[in-house]
Amino acid sequence: MDNDTDITRRVIGQVKWFDPVKGFGFVIADEGGPDILLHANVLRNFGQSSVADGARVEIGVQDTPRGVQAVEVMSIAPPEGTGTATLADFEDIDPETIASAPLEPARVKWFDKGKGFGFGNVFGRHEDVFIHIEVLRRSGLADLQPGEAVCLRVIQGKRGRMATEVLAWEAALKKDSDA
């Protein structure tokens, strides 16, 4: 039986909003058309528990009786314009120092979106790494879950070790293999 719902097509678009608590959000396709449902399970299959509003995505979608739904995430890029502003904590640090910091495997200790920060632990190290919500947004993420595996680009800041970039584990592995 020929069924149009089994046909997957690639779409590039922008995240309209995503709520990790509700477990879904929507993407607006560059080509127009109805909003595309992005379910948390599809995002988790990509290796992320959240995605920032405004992030650019490439997704595989299918038409279903309930509308257009994402069935696969191929790529996520942080929202435009988030990489130019500087955080006060990074103002006195050479941009080359930030860019050359290695990615380190870590786990999220806790993150409170309402407070705007949280902490992670790099494997094999005892001290916490501070993660600011703005760094998370610049990295294309909206929230982190305790125990989530991530990679952190860490520098020594004024108040201790700080993340300058947060990547989902799978995205970091891909980024490392592309380098």
Q: Shortest CA distance to 141 belongs to which of 159, 174, 116, 168?
A: 168
Written as one letter, the residue type at 19 is D
- What's the residue count for the chain? 179
173 has a pLDDT exceeding 70: no
21-78 pLDDT per residue, tens:
899 999 999 999 999 999 999 998 888 888 988 889 999 999 999 899 999 999 888 8
Q: What is the DSSP letter of 125?
A: -
Highest averaged pLDDT of the listed ranges 47-51, 69-73, 80-84, 173-177: 69-73
82 lies in some domain: no
The pLDDT-based confidence of 84 (bands split at 50, 70, 90) is very low
Ramachandran angles phi, psi of 169, nearest 5°:
-50, -50
Name the residue range of residue 104's domain. Answer: 88-178
**What's the whole-number mean pLDDT along residues 152-175?**
80
- Do 149 and 172 fall within a single domain? yes
- Do 106 and 47 fall within a single domain? no
Residue 2, classed as helix, strand or coil, is coil
Quick check: 24 and 70 in contact, CB under 8 A?
no
Return the CATH number at 48: 2.40.50.140
16 has a pLDDT exceeding 90: yes
Quick check: 131 and 119 in contact, CB under 8 A?
yes
For residue 178, what pLDDT is reported?
55
> How many angstroms separate the CA atoms of 59 and 71, rounded?
7
> How many angstroms separate the CA atoms of 10 and 58, rounded?
7
83 lies in some domain: no
Last residue of a domain, which of 77, 104, 139?
77
Q: Which residues pair with 64 in a beta bridge?
A: 67
Quick check: 69 and 59 in contact, CB under 8 A?
no
